[in-house]
């Protein structure tokens, strides 16, 4: 098992998380509470965020031993092991064992590749048949604030509608176009993405797709709702 790596996507994810945390510092209360993270990967994106935001503390969970080892090495190299900790284990099991969310904000770039099953080039990236299984589970985990990546070909309309049903608003987001990588270009995956888009469950171009990193919140102190703008940015018809 190897760590997923995409320089463009990681840069977009890290920059967006940093911008949203900084802009909504007061509302998210991360300087007092810290944040938790679902899926560490090699930690490079969020390690740079921790370096950029001296008051930020992140406690992360990943189910891959190789990812945890790589993450810990990258964190140590940046000298932030006191503020960025990584635990091997299932994020949702740990949240349940703690009796509920210990902090109010969770961040994640969850696996979002849609496919009929896990038999793809990198099974760790499988997000379910529609690509948003982990995102929907995260929204249902009980955190007041969710900062997460949403891909245009992974049924974002259902994600946004589910979030609204759970009391979340899309306060803000940053969107970027990405080229297809080797995992989303796999013929089995590409064919499935085409079917999803034809059924109105997503959007993808001939060579790429959109990813937005969005802040979903149930906190009334953070005003506004840009859900429709998010869907338009992801090229979804309203």
Q: Is residue 1 part of a domain?
A: no
Q: What is the pTM of this model?
A: 0.94
- pLDDT on residue 3: 41
Q: 3-state DSSP call for residue 126? A: strand
CATH number, domain of 35, equals 3.40.50.150
Q: How far apart are CA 70 and CA 108, in angstroms?
A: 18
Q: Is residue 180 part of a domain?
A: yes
Q: Is residue 47 part of a domain?
A: yes
Residue 149 sits in which domain range? Answer: 7-219
- pLDDT on residue 237: 80
- DSSP symbol at 113: B
Q: Is residue 95 part of a domain?
A: yes
Sign of the four-CA dihedral 4, 41, 79, 34 = positive
Q: Which pair of structure tokens corresponds to residue 40?
A: 């560490």
CA end-to-end span of the chain: 39
Q: Structurally, how many domains does the chain consist of?
A: 1
Q: Is residue 13 part of a domain?
A: yes
- pLDDT on residue 96: 55
- pLDDT on residue 1: 34
Q: Is residue 50 part of a domain?
A: yes
- pLDDT on residue 145: 97
- pLDDT on residue 112: 96
- pLDDT on residue 100: 53
Digit-by-digit pLDDT tens for the chain (238 residues) are 344 446 788 899 999 999 999 999 999 999 999 999 999 999 999 999 999 999 999 999 999 999 999 999 999 999 999 999 999 999 988 765 555 557 999 999 999 999 999 999 999 999 999 999 999 999 999 999 999 999 999 999 999 999 999 999 999 999 999 999 999 999 999 999 999 999 999 999 999 999 999 999 999 999 999 999 999 999 998 7
Helix residue spans in the chain (DSSP H):
7-23, 25-28, 30-33, 44-52, 65-78, 91-97, 133-139, 156-165, 187-198, 227-233
- pLDDT on residue 94: 74
């Amino acid at each position: 098992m190897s760590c997923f790596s995409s320089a463009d996507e990681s840069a977009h994810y890290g920059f967006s998380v940093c911008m949203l945390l900084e802009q909504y510092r007061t509302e998210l209360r991360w300087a007092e509470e810290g944040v938790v993270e679902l899926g560490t990967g090699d930690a490079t994106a969020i390690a740079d965020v921790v370096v950029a935001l001296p008051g930020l503390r992140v406690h992360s969970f990943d189910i891959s031993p190789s990812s945890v080892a790589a993450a810990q090495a990258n964190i140590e190299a940046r000298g932030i092991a006191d503020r960025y900790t990584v635990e091997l284990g299932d994020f949702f099991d740990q949240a349940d064992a703690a009796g509920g969310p210990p902090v109010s904000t969770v961040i994640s770039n969850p696996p979002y590749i849609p496919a009929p099953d896990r038999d793809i080039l990198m099974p760790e990236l499988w997000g379910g048949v529609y690509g948003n299984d982990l995102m929907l589970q995260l929204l249902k985990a009980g955190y007041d604030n969710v900062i997460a990546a949403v891909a245009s070909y992974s049924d974002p309309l259902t994600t946004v509608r589910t979030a609204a049903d759970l009391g979340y608003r899309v306060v803000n987001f940053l969107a970027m176009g990405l080229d297809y990588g080797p995992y989303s270009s796999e013929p089995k995956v590409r064919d499935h993405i085409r079917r999803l888009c034809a059924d109105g469950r997503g959007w993808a171009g001939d060579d790429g797709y959109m990813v937005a990193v969005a802040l979903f919140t149930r906190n009334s102190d953070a005003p506004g709702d840009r859900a429709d703008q998010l869907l338009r940015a992801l090229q979804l018809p309203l």
